[in-house]
Chain A
Amino acid sequence: MLTCKELTELITDYLEGRMSLGQRLRFQLHLGMCRRCRIYLRQMKMTIQTLGKLPDEPIPADVREELLMRFRSMRPASTAAFPAWQSIVAVVDGWLSGRGWIIPGGVLLAAALLAVALGGESGPLVQGSATCLLTELGAGAAPVAALILAATVFRGQVTASSLAAVAALGALAGYLSLLGSVCPYSRVTPHVLLVHVGGILAATLLGALAARLPWLRPR
């Protein structure tokens, strides 16, 4: 038979559900017969509940202030292992998600169209240009599409700079492979500058634009 004294030592095992069935039965049998131990158990439960209702200690105003101050001063630089790189990415992302680059991008595009128009149908700029440009854009679009697909499937987040970066890399890869084999105008500087370098730039901008697709916005 369990004594009252023993019960007061087993009470936490009981409340924590850390008893064998036999121990539990003995414990409850004692409780059923002993009003004093029932009072003890009730007091213990009350103690625990009361501890749970203790009001939170307020944060002292000066501590709070200092913490906020230090938090503000550290946040941009310390979000990753490479602070400088991170802040560059943050700046680029800020820029790409704003509207600042649309005007320079538009000017570039207009200049390219103007050059094509001035060059005429038979100019060195235009020969083979459509194929080359499409290949550049396609090479840039493929990794962007892959990244977007991955982000959608895994519910990850993509940033404008990451999309722009993969687009640029894809287009660059397209250019490097094109230059050696397919493109017959790789020695024509205006063609290379306009179609290939311009194509890489255009792919980069389109990659950045892709970050604005509605289902890629952070929820």
Chain B
Amino acid sequence: MTFVSDRSVAEEVVQDTWLAVIRGLPSFERRSTLKTWIFRILVNRAKTRAMREARSIPFSSFEDPGGEEEPAVDPVRFLPNGMWADPPRPWHEDSPDKLLMRQETLRRLEREIEKLPPNQRAVLTLRDIEGFTSEEVCNILEISETNQRVLLHRARSKIRQALEQYLRGA
């Protein structure tokens, strides 16, 4: 869903990937983990598909985290000297399990992840949800370590902010 625009196309890409994995398994050389290898195939197929459809994001923009400033925290929350004006308040829920106990929180999180730009979503999903290392993510998405970190930083900051807003309102 990060690369292609509609769900049925995404499902097709996933299917193709599994078939390619089965076909390619004898030539898998164990230079990476199987999981990384599978994701590489998936990403490559999705990219090819996206290019063919030419209705998704251009991939130069995938490599490039984007020049424009995306502050981690809304600048109005700081004083001119860079100190907090509107500081974060401790969250009542003090563990991930407690946070996810409410279905609403879960839905909210998923929606926020969907709202991320594709490249940020891809990095966040692979790193924090799927648990790949940064090296593996760079390998899968074919991006530099620095770009990976910038994308991860922006994505994580946005998700934290969304959680904060949601938990404040609740």
Contact = CB atoms under 8 A, between A and B. Distances in A.
A66 B152 contact: no
Interface stretch (A71-79, A126-134, A146-154, A194-202): A71-79
B73 to A, nearest CB: 5
Contacts of B100: 50, 53-54
Interface of B: 11, 14-15, 18-19, 22-23, 25-26, 71-73, 75, 78, 81-84, 87-91, 94-97, 99-100, 106, 109-110, 124, 128-129, 131, 134, 149, 152-153, 156-157, 159-160, 163-164
B72 A66 contact: no
Listed from nearest, the 9 A-B pairs whose CB atoms lie closest are: A3-B82, A12-B153, A36-B87, A51-B128, A50-B96, A5-B82, A47-B160, A8-B72, A49-B96
20 contacts: A3-B82, A5-B73, A8-B73, A11-B153, A11-B157, A12-B157, A16-B149, A18-B149, A39-B89, A40-B73, A42-B90, A43-B164, A44-B160, A50-B100, A52-B129, A52-B131, A63-B14, A70-B19, A75-B22, A78-B22
A199 B109 CA distance: 73
A13 B82 contact: no
Given A11-B72, A52-B129, A54-B100, A71 B22 contact: yes
B97 A39 contact: no
Contact of B78 (A5, A16, A70): A5
Given A11-B72, A70-B19, 17 more contacts: A3-B81, A4-B83, A5-B78, A8-B71, A12-B149, A12-B157, A43-B88, A44-B156, A44-B157, A44-B160, A46-B94, A47-B156, A50-B99, A52-B96, A53-B97, A54-B129, A78-B23
Interface string A26-56: 0000000000110110111011111111110
Contacts of A121: none
Contact of A12 (B90, B94, B152, B163): B152
A3 B11 CA distance: 46
B123 to A, nearest CB: 11
User: Interface size for chain A: under 10, 10 to 19, 20 to 34, or 35 or more residues?
Assistant: 35 or more
Nearest to A53: B96
A67 interface: yes
Given A43-B163, A78-B23, A36 B88 contact: yes
A80 interface: yes
A71 B19 contact: yes
B26 A80 contact: yes
Interface in A69-93: 70-71, 74-75, 78-80
Given A4-B84, A5-B82, A80-B26, A46 B19 contact: no
Contacts of A49: 96
B156 A71 contact: no
